[in-house]
Amino acid sequence: MKKIVAIIGDPREKGTSRVMFYQYLAYLKTHSKTEVKIYDIRKLTFDPNLPEGYRTEQTPEIIALKQDASSADLLLFAYPVWWFNVPAVLKGVIDHLFWRGESYSFKDKKFL
């Protein structure tokens, strides 16, 4: 069975990206045998600003997300495009998710 970690990165309660995200997941559930774990940035508790850089303490929710993501076959992100980029809070999730020393290392030249 395939495992998908799906992250809804729309900070709005009723944004178009959110609606399309759940429609896609409903279709996926009826047409495949895939385990889907959903993370909603509106419900995650964490500081997206990394006030201590990579010394910022990560919350249990972020740690769980990272563990699920590392064992997933696919990471699915759904979000609106604002100013040609992801919403700021989703950028914070990405910064926490792809942590230096875990996801990549400049010293060892290792990447995902």
**Whole-number pLDDT of residue 112:** 55
Percent of the chain with pLDDT over 70: 93
Rounded distance between C-alpha atoms, residue 11 and residue 69, angstroms? 20
**Whole-number pLDDT of residue 39:** 97
**Whole-number pLDDT of residue 54:** 87
Q: Which residues are paired to 94 by β-bridges?
A: none
Provide the number of structural domains found in the chain: 1
48 φ/ψ angles, rounded to the nearest 5 degrees: -70, -10
- Residue segments in the chain with a per-residue pLDDT below the cut of 50: none
Structural domain of 24: 2-111
Query: For residue 14, what is the DSSP state?
Result: T
Query: For residue 53, what is the DSSP state?
Result: G
CATH code, domain with 48:
3.40.50.360
**Whole-number pLDDT of residue 10:** 94
Rounded distance between C-alpha atoms, residue 43 and residue 112, angstroms? 27
Judged by DSSP in three states, 3 sits in strand
State the DSSP string of 54-91: GGSPPPHHHHHHHHHHHT-SEEEEE---BTTB--HHHH
